[in-house]
Amino acid sequence: MKISPAACAAIVLAWRAMTAPVGAVVDLDGGGVGDVWRLKFAAAGLAGNAGADGDGKSNADEARAGTDPKSPLETLRVHSVLRNGGTIEIRWGTVAGKRHKVQSAAEPGAAANWTDATGFLDGSGAEMMQALPLPGGRTFYRVAVYEKDSDSDGVDDWEELQLGLDPNEDHLHGAGDLAYVTAGLTATNVVTVLGPSVALAESAAVPGLVTVARAGYVALSGSVVVPFGAKNATIAVTQNAIALVGMRART
């Protein structure tokens, strides 16, 4: 897409998923795609070099970007490119836990000599805008997305956010986040039903509580849903109103 001739620039309306340093993504099976991403989006059977949703991005690119491989609406896209005085304003969607760079080249294509037009820009899940000086000649731009591992623990920030961990702290779970996540990914899904309340009684004035807990990360469903990344779900058991009148408590 070209902007006005006066700007003398062309814009590539696309993003490129860049590979992070080895160890920043948990990939226990060595398949080249993060295990947390596969579980998050139920993508166990998707090949990395294929595309499941027809949005032009491979599943491997979607994994590195933290986007849903089954939704063409959820992909990183440039929203707009506008000239504003002596600058070009580029706006695009971001994903929390990922970081981005705007890059430029004199010619597009795989063999282009892309150079960084910005430093790393942390994604938040909201739209981002970057203003760049108006180039003096024909110039192409793209937005690249990178993985980020703020605490250098081998679990990238996006993965930690999906699992309810702190991207800036490694040792909240004893041996470290990588050991904790690895244990969760490899654990057998043992389900335990716990009763936090001392008793569940028909005559109780307040609801009782039942907690369903599990060992692993795989989503459980049925009458109780334990979402991906969560360890338990609590059920409020509300007594029948008629039980409050003259009935003996049963535990």
Task: pLDDT band for 185, please (50, 70, 90 cuts).
Answer: confident
Whole-number percent of the chain with pLDDT over 70: 69
DSSP string spanning 16-61?
EEPPPPTTSS--TT-SSS-HHHHHHTT-TT--TTS-SSSSS--HHH
Rounded CA-CA distance 107/172 in Å is 47
Q: How many CB atoms lie within 10 A of CB 115?
A: 10
Q: What is the pTM of this model?
A: 0.71
* Of the candidate ranges 1-10, 128-137, 203-212, the one whose mean pLDDT is the lowest: 1-10
| C-alpha pair distances (Å), 128 with each of 55, 80, 108, 125 | 21, 11, 23, 9
Whole-number percent of the chain with pLDDT over 90: 17
Token reading at 42: 């139920």
